[in-house]
Structure 1
Amino acid sequence: MSDESDQPADPEPDRNISGGTTGGGTAATFDPATADTRAERVVDRLGERYWQKTYGGQDAFTCLVRTILSQNTSDKASQPAHDALIDRYGHSSSRADLAAALAHAEQSQLAETISSAGLYNQKSAMLIDAAEWVCDEFGSADEFDRFVTDETPDTVRETLLDVRGVGPKTADCVLLFAGGRGGVFPVDTHVHRIYRRMGIAPPEADHEEVRTVLEAEVPAAKCGFGHTATIQFGREFCTARKPACLEDPEACPMADICEQVGVYPETGEVVDPADAPT
């Protein structure tokens, strides 16, 4: 019999439910042969390659904090900052206490606490502003959580975008990971690069234009998985400087459906798709 310590901390579920069991989502089936669009075929192939997970159910304010900390940095850098913040300010199980604690935090102390995340002076000010906004507008983090879960996605998104430090990707991550909303495909640097490089979105498209394309061409139940799996694909295969196809076209599982915009195996050159000659 194996020891409990040998068991994975995050066991792989056997199916994908992008909205979560309580977030309105439905189980998604990944079959590239039946995909209606090239974008859906990409996500279906990712669904066959990567493990599948559920979305929704995270506390909205904690998710907002975590996403702000992750801006312009890696998970490796932002996770210690998140842990340190929770250790210092999340001194009870009450989510409202964290919002209230950050609303009254001394900025220099908060900046020191989250220093591993980078841009800590800017992010500490954003976190304090966000916490004050939650307390003033909703009264508590619990009420903010209900707003994110119950209001229409467009209303939640527009409201969040009025908060300092909250851009489209942050708002969409809160909708996806806290609200469990189907049809939300957050666009980070990996997603922005990959779908333009593949030729699915125009090479000069900004983050919002890429999001519009993906949310129109990928079924709602697959959008959440598409976001997280594309990030994993970007880290393993379609990196910014050395995509797998640069040295071996067969090394990439998407080679046959990718237009390689801005990637030139003949010369070894890689440029942003927007800079690729037309």
Structure 2
Amino acid sequence: MTDKEPAENISGGTAGGGQSATFDPETAGTRAETVVDRLGEMYWTKTYGGRDAYECLVRTILSQNTSDKASQPAHDDLMARYGGGEDANSEGDIDSTDLARALADADQPELAETISSAGLYNQKSERIIALAQRICEEYGGEAGFDAFVRDSDPEAVRSTLLDMNGVGPKTADCVLLFAGGRGGVFPVDTHVHRIARRMGLAPADADHETVRAYLERDVPAAKCGFGHTAIIQFGREYCSARKPACLDDPDACPLAGHCDQIGVYPAADDVVDPSETA
């Protein structure tokens, strides 16, 4: 599945290429929806769902406690060795189109070496193999697990995922969103957790699960997936943990009019976690 951006911004913004607007801040029902709609004028929409559920699970585990820059090569190397296809075959490695079965039988030290760029590679390799073995035992492999994630009750899927070792709420929600294509799922990573509290969309001392509850309550189900990816993009470009754009210039942030600046003190040139203000 490609992550390449489309040729046109189909989010409904001014660069929308004549597409009908999907996001309209003027008609939003809540402030959180207004924020997501404003981001919809700025960023590309994505297509949610369709990724292989186990690969999505593996990719999210690889991303834990590390950056995309570090986890992406680990994912690519893992897929080249264990994911089947011409690249794996030409290297003489495991030839399998079922990633779960291939990894269930993987040699742990070899897998750890393969994903070493992602950090915590011993722990992550052990978890990936254990998850693969469980998925093969309970669902017969990758196809059965895909069907479970896409077709079963979302709460049942989430509960099952959270019962798996190494799978936390964000990982479970990412699988529901990117593999299951489920509406109303708003994964909360560090960017979403920080920005929702900084803007006042959730209580300043809210934990990740409380932030998720507020956002899923206040953002329409069809916009939750986009809201997740767009807030991450916004956090990287404008609202970083230590140097938000508004710290030096209040007009530099495109969402300045929607933000409570909880924990941001431009006059003192200081930023603290929102929870420290609660």
TM-score in terms of structure 1 length: 0.90
* Deviation by residue 1:7-42 (Cα, 9 ceiling, x = unmatched): x953245546xxxxxxxxxx9820001111110000
Higher alpha-carbon deviation: 212-221 or 250-259: 250-259
**1:56 and 2:52 correspond:** no
**Partner-residue secondary structure (3-state), 2:58:** helix
1:36 is matched with which residue: 29, 37, 48?
29
Counterpart Cα distance in 2 of 1:214 and 1:273? 17
Q: For the aligned residues, what is the CA RMSD?
A: 1.9
Within a 5 Å distance, the mapping from 1:147-226 to structure 2 comes to: 147-226=148-227
Q: Percent identity?
A: 69
Counterpart Cα distance in 2 of 1:243 and 1:191? 14
* Deviation by residue 1:124-177 (Cα, 9 ceiling, x = unmatched): 111011101110110110010000000011010000000001100001000000
Letter of the 1:86 counterpart: M
**2:125 matched residue in structure 1:** 124
Higher relative contact order (CA 8 A, sep 6+): 1
* Deviation by residue 1:55-110 (Cα, 9 ceiling, x = unmatched): 11111111111111111111111010001101111124887531111111111111
Counterpart Cα distance in 2 of 1:193 and 1:40? 17
Counterpart Cα distance in 2 of 1:137 and 1:28? 43
Counterpart Cα distance in 1 of 2:25 and 2:65? 33
Counterpart Cα distance in 1 of 2:156 and 2:233? 30
Unaligned runs of 5+ in 2: 12-19, 87-94
**1:107 matched residue in structure 2:** 108
Counterpart Cα distance in 1 of 2:159 and 2:25? 34
Does the aligned pair in 1 maintain the 2:169–2:209 contact within 8 Å? yes
TM-score in terms of structure 2 length: 0.90
Does the aligned pair in 2 maintain the 1:96–1:141 contact within 8 Å? no
Letter of the 2:78 counterpart: L
**Partner-residue secondary structure (3-state), 1:203:** coil
**1:82 and 2:75 correspond:** yes
Does the aligned pair in 2 maintain the 1:73–1:117 contact within 8 Å? yes
Within a 5 Å distance, the mapping from 1:125-140 to structure 2 comes to: 125-140=126-141
Does the aligned pair in 1 maintain the 2:83–2:97 contact within 8 Å? no
Does the aligned pair in 2 maintain the 1:57–1:180 contact within 8 Å? yes
Does the aligned pair in 1 maintain the 2:56–2:179 contact within 8 Å? yes
**1:72 and 2:65 correspond:** yes
Higher alpha-carbon deviation: 104-113 or 231-240: 104-113
Letter of the 1:42 counterpart: V
Aligned pair count reads 261
Per the TM alignment, residue 240 of structure 1 is displaced from its structure 2 partner at its CA by: 0.4
**Partner-residue secondary structure (3-state), 1:242:** coil
**2:14 matched residue in structure 1:** none
Counterpart Cα distance in 2 of 1:28 and 1:155? 34
